[in-house]
Structure 1
Amino acid sequence: MKFDNPEDILQLTPLWEGERYPNGRPKVSEGLLRRMRKITLEEAWGPLWNRGYTNQFEGEFKIIHPAKTMVGRAVTAVMVPKRPDLHDTLLSYGHEQEGRKGFFNQWVIDSLEEDDVVVVDMYDKIYQGTYVGGNLSTAISTRTQRGGAVIWGGIRDNQQVVEIENINVYYRGSDPTAIADCTMISMNGPTRIGRAVCLPGDVVLGTPAGVIFIPPHLAELTVVRAEKSQVRDVFGFIRLKEGVYTTAQIDASWNTALWQDFIHWFESASEAAEYRHLEWSEELEEARKLEGSGPSNDVRL
C-alpha cells in the first residue's frame, strides 16, 4: 500500500472533471470556495440529499470558534487502534520509502495546501487520541490560511488553539494526553466521520450546526442552488412587505407572471447585484411548461 496514492485518488473521484493537485486530489476553485462561505448548511444539504447523497452531514462536534464558518478542500486520514506489527510496518514504510518525518498526524499536516481542511477518523478516541494541539494547529493555520480540521477524536491545548483566529477546528473532546497507541492506515482515501463519508477533495462546509462534505463534482451546483434560493428569498421578502403577493404565492411553484416580475427586479435591483452571475432560463421554461404556454419574448435572460 501507499499513502496519498494518486492512482487511488483518481479511482475514487472519477466524476470530477476539473483541476487537480499533483497527487490527483480534486481542486475546487478558490472562487467557488469563496461563494460557498456565504451559504447555509441547509442550503448545501438540500441539493445533495435530493441526489441521493444522504450521508454527508455530521453535527455531533465541539467547535473551537462556534460562530465562524469554515470552508476548504478535504485532506483525509483514517486512524485505527495500535497493533504492533501493523504499526511498525506502516511507520517504517512512511519513513523509509516515502521520506516522511515524525508521527502519522504530522505526515498529513505537512501535506496541506492553502484552503485545505484536515478530515480525520480518529475512531472517536479522545484519551491519547489528541490529533492536534497548539503546535500542529499553528501549522494548519500557517499552511491553510483559512482552513482547519474536522477530527472524529480529540485535541489538546484548547487554550492555545482558541487563540488561532484564521482557522476552525471541529472535534469530539479534549484531553491533556498526547496522541499515542494508534496507527494511520489511509491518507487521502475514504473517511468516515460519524455518520458521514468524506473523500479527498470534498468541499468541507463547517457551520455552527455541524459539518457537511460536498462532493467536488456537485460543489458548483450546490452553490448555484443556494444562491438562487437566497436571492429569491430577498425578492419574496420585498414583495411580501409591499403586499404584492401572499405567502402562499411566494412559497408555491411560481407561475410565469411571477417569474417575469422576479427577473425584471433581478436585472435592476441593487439587492440582487451580487447575484447577477446567475441565469434563470431553466426556471422560466419550466414554469411555461407547467402552464402549457408558449414562449414569451418579453423577458430578457
Structure 2
Amino acid sequence: MKFDNAEDIIQLTPLWTGERFQNGRPKVPDDILRRMRRITLEEAWSPLWHRGYDYQFQGDFESTHPGKVIVGRAVTAVFVPVRPELHDTLLQYGNEQENRKGFFNQWVIDSLVEDDVVVVDLFDKIYKGTFVGGNLSTAIAARTKRGGAVIWGGVRDTQQIAKIENINIYHRGIDPTPIREVTMLGMNVPCRIGRAVCLPGDVVLATPAGVIFIPPHLAELAVVLAEKSQARDLFGFQRLDEGVYTTADIDGSWAMPVWNDFLNWIATSEKAAEYRSLTWDEELEEARALEGKGPSNDARA
C-alpha cells in the first residue's frame, strides 16, 4: 500500500501523453488552464457528454466565496469511516515509511503546488468531517496561489476562510467540529464526488452552477470547442441585434454567406481578437458539403 504512487497514477491515466509531475500526475499546460477560466460550465461539459463521459458533473455545493470560479489540476483523496486497525496501519505507514507529517488531510495539502485543486471524497460527512479550517485553507492558498478545494464533506472556520481572497472551497456543509473518525484509503486515486468521477490530474472547473472534472486528454479539445462556441455566439448576438440575420439563420447550420461574414468579423472585430488563433477548416468543409441541402439543426460539440 503506497500513497501518491507514480506507477499507479500513470497506469490510471494512459490517454495522457503530455508532461507529468514527478508523481506521475498529468500536468495540463498552464495556458489551457488560463483559457479554461474564460469558459462556462456548460461549454466545458458538452464535449465530454458527446464523447461518452456522462459522469463528470456534480452540483449541490456550498462555497466559501460565492460566485468565485476556480480552475486547476486535481489532487484527489478518498476517505472512509474509521476502522481501528486499518486506520492505525495506514497512518503509521504514511508517517514512518513515507515520512509524512500529521493527519491524512495535512498529507494531501502538503503535496500541493501552484494551480492545484484538492478533490476529496469524505462520503458526505459533515459532523466530524471538516477537511479544512482556517489554517489548512491558508496553506492551500499559499501553495496553489489561485486554486482551492472540492470537498464531498464539511468545512469549519468559514468566517476565517472567507477572508482568504485568492481561493474558493466548495463543500457540502459547515460544522465547528474538527475532523475525526475517518481514514484515508488513497491519495491521487480515482475519487467519487456525488455521482461524478475524478482522476488525479483532471482539470477541475468549479462554478456557482456546480463542478465538472475534465479528463486531461480532453482538456484542450474542451477549451477549443468552448472558444469556438463563444466566438459564434458573440457574432450571432451582434448580427441579430443589428437585424442582419434571422434567428433561423443563426441557430441552424450556417450557409456559406454567413460563414464568410463570420470569418471577416473574426479578422476585423475587436470583440474577436482573442479567438483569431482558432481554425475553422472542418466547419467550413461541412458547410460547403451542406450547400443546397436545406436547413438542419446545429450540433456544435
- Superposition TM-score, scaled by structure 1 size: 0.96
Identity %: 73
| CA deviation profile, 1:266-292 (whole Å, cap 9, x unmatched) | 111111001111111111011112227
Partner SS, residue 73 of structure 1: strand
1:143 corresponding residue in structure 2: 143
1:20 corresponding residue in structure 2: 20
Amino acid at match of 1:276: R
The 5-angstrom pairing of residues 71-110 of structure 1 reads 71-110=71-110
Partner SS, residue 127 of structure 1: strand
Amino acid at match of 1:137: S
CA-CA distance at 1:75 after TM superposition: 0.0
| CA deviation profile, 1:49-81 (whole Å, cap 9, x unmatched) | 111111001111111111111000000000000
Cα distance in structure 2, aligned partners of 1:242 and 1:163: 44
Partner SS, residue 24 of structure 2: coil
1:41 corresponding residue in structure 2: 41
1:288 corresponding residue in structure 2: 288
How much is the aligned-residue C-alpha RMSD, in angstroms?
1.0
Cα distance in structure 2, aligned partners of 1:41 and 1:66: 16
What is the total number of aligned residue pairs between the two structures?
293
2:163 corresponding residue in structure 1: 163
Partner SS, residue 28 of structure 1: coil
Amino acid at match of 2:212: I
Cα distance in structure 1, aligned partners of 2:119 and 2:241: 44
Q: Does 1:177 align with 2:173?
A: no
Amino acid at match of 2:259: W
2:203 corresponding residue in structure 1: 203
Cα distance in structure 2, aligned partners of 1:27 and 1:54: 23
Partner SS, residue 221 of structure 1: helix
Amino acid at match of 1:175: D
Cα distance in structure 1, aligned partners of 2:255 and 2:28: 35
1:67 corresponding residue in structure 2: 67
Cα distance in structure 1, aligned partners of 2:204 and 2:7: 23
Partner SS, residue 130 of structure 1: strand
Partner SS, residue 52 of structure 1: coil
1:115 corresponding residue in structure 2: 115
Cα distance in structure 2, aligned partners of 1:113 and 1:265: 40
1:129 corresponding residue in structure 2: 129
Cα distance in structure 1, aligned partners of 2:71 and 2:226: 15
| CA deviation profile, 1:146-174 (whole Å, cap 9, x unmatched) | 00000000000010011111000000011
Q: Does 1:279 align with 2:271?
A: no
Amino acid at match of 2:223: V
| CA deviation profile, 1:226-258 (whole Å, cap 9, x unmatched) | 111111111111111221110111000112221
Cα distance in structure 2, aligned partners of 1:71 and 1:35: 10
Q: Which runs of 5+ in 2 are unaligned?
A: 294-301
Cα distance in structure 1, aligned partners of 2:243 and 2:136: 55
| CA deviation profile, 1:171-195 (whole Å, cap 9, x unmatched) | 0011111101110001000000001
